[in-house]
Amino acid sequence: MDFPILSSLILLPTIGAFFIFFVKSSNKTYQASKYIALFIAIANFIISLYLWYEFDNSTSEFQFTENRVWIKNFINYKVGVDGISILFILLTTFVSTICIITVNYTVSTRLKDFLIAILLMESLMIGVFCSLDLVIFYLFFEGGLIPMFLIIGIWGGKRRVYSAFKFFLYTLLGSVLMLIAIISIYWFSGTTDIEKLYSIGIEAKYQNLLWLAFFSSFAVKTPMWPVHTWLPDAHVEAPTAGSVLLAAILLKMAGYGFIRFSLGLFPLASDYFVPLIYFLSLVAIIYTSLVALMQEDIKKLIAYSSVAHMGFVTLGIFTMTQQGLEGSIFQMISHGLISAALFLCVGIIYERTHTRLINQYGGLVSIMPKYAVLFMIFTLGALGLPGTTGFIGEFLILLGIFKKNIIVATIASIGVVLGAAYMLWMYKRIIFGKIVNENLKELMDVKKVELFLLCCLAFPVIFFGFYPEPLINTIEVSIQNLLDIYNFNLASYQAKTLYD
């Protein structure tokens, strides 16, 4: 047992939050809090990079595992990472750092509390991605709701309370069912340790019900159609950093959950429910793309596009093919970066003009040329242009799904055309054309810190678009192993029913 690197990743932000809590609040500018938060976030990001560096991608075993007894014979605090989860941890620490910088220079009311919320959130998110015990997972998973609820509720826009409650109501409803499922798994199997559960498996007759219970929680968080309506509202009301966290990390917990639990624990049920997932994903892709086309609010448009992109992710996961699954994880990472950047972009102009309505803009390119370039990069990423990460994800997913079902692949590909339509149309209306709105003439181009943040996000989007090897290598073996187990389970069950 070496140095508990995962626990320190989880704990460090919490400790930071604790410190900030006790820093003297008489200081109006919150200098100390800002520096502590920034330092902690960067330190955590560096640790997670080190984790990635040390990570052995030739094995599918869980690595850096820690196992401590929490409640004897009941719950163990068990954490570890494999190829599936490590990239999400990196994404979390990276995006959290970005968020903290954003908050530092934009938020002025109750900044201290905001920083605490983000740091706590970071702890919980990392916890979600490395917990190897169902109960621990549930605690982290649901815990993440609370800081987000507060961020929307306190620093949000006019309808913040409505949005916060809608967000809470939706996500809680799903979670309750998941909790019941976890309890019943404990009664059936006598353990909530994920590794053990993988090896003993879950009896076939319970799988469908349990799968549905988990599904109800993940579907809300993804979000899948028709439980997606909380997302546009939450995004619209959330402050910029809140939107970034929500889009970049919170949504990814569900995709991760689908891979880790739905596929891992309930292979038979996953197989059984494939048509349902395909149907809902396709609706999400086509339906929300069309809805996005007609949006007048930039944030809502991007929120709807998130639903469409996550539709690709769920589609890819349930192809149960190497390309589909790798594509899904890639797409989640890519969407994490791109949507984070897009929300930052919206935040930048919102802060200057205090409007998010598309028709209030136009002609920004002549006033904010640098902004126009950066915004273009992320627009192109979002519409899946080759050379950006968005393309690799979508391409692999569609490649995977084509193997399984040609019709589904064809319909999903229409979404790619629509994606280009709504993104470019939005871009055109905001950036190009003549300046109609006189107020815009005074706008200044991106500040240095904004430029820095957007470049930080643009770099991986382009780099991994041209050279995705480092990411794909990391996940390759774990995905292969997951698929082997999945196929083995399916085959042995079929053999057993034949024998019976």
- Footprint on this chain of other proteins (rule: CB under 8 A): 165-166, 169-170, 226-227, 229-230, 287, 290-295, 321-323, 326-327, 363, 365-366, 380, 385-387, 391-392, 395-396, 398-399, 402-403, 406-407, 409-410, 413-414, 416-418, 420-421, 424-425, 428, 431-434, 466-469, 472-473, 476
Nearer to other proteins, 100 or 372 (CB): 372
Nearer to other proteins, 50 or 467 (CB): 467
Nearer to other proteins, 207 or 322 (CB): 322
Beta-bridged to residue 428, according to DSSP, are: none
CB of 291 to other proteins, least distance (A): 4
Nearer to other proteins, 460 or 468 (CB): 468
For residues 461-478, one letter each, b for 16 or more C-beta atoms within 10 angstroms of the residue's C-beta and e for the rest, the string is beebbeebeebbebbbbb
CB of 52 to other proteins, least distance (A): 18
d(CA 475, CA 58): 10
Nearer to other proteins, 99 or 396 (CB): 396
Which residues, including other chains, have CB under 8 Å from residue 494's CB and lie 6 or more apart? none
Nearer to other proteins, 140 or 225 (CB): 225
Query: Residue 102 corresponds to which tokens in the numbers above?
Result: 């954003």
Place of tokens 């598309």: 358
d(CA 59, CA 76): 24
d(CA 367, CA 15): 43
Place of tokens 């739905």: 262
CB of 398 to other proteins, least distance (A): 6
Exposed/middle/buried for 320, CB within 10 Å: 0-12, 13-18, 19+? buried
CB of 311 to other proteins, least distance (A): 14
Termini Cα distance of the chain: 45
Nearer to other proteins, 31 or 473 (CB): 473
Nearer to other proteins, 357 or 406 (CB): 406
CB of 162 to other proteins, least distance (A): 9
* Among 354, 216, 363, residue whose Cα is nearest residue 280: 216
Place of tokens 């508990």: 4
Please tell me whether the peptide bond between 267 and the residue prior to it is cis, using omega within 30 degrees of 0. Answer: no
CB of 224 to other proteins, least distance (A): 12
The dihedral formed by the CA atoms of 332, 335, 340 and 341, expressed in degrees to the nearest 10: 150
CB of 165 to other proteins, least distance (A): 7
Nearer to other proteins, 406 or 495 (CB): 406
CB of 223 to other proteins, least distance (A): 11
CB of 466 to other proteins, least distance (A): 7
Contact indicator for 117, 147 with CB cutoff of 8 Å = yes
Contact indicator for 301, 422 with CB cutoff of 8 Å = yes
Beta-bridged to residue 344, according to DSSP, are: none
Contact indicator for 136, 78 with CB cutoff of 8 Å = yes
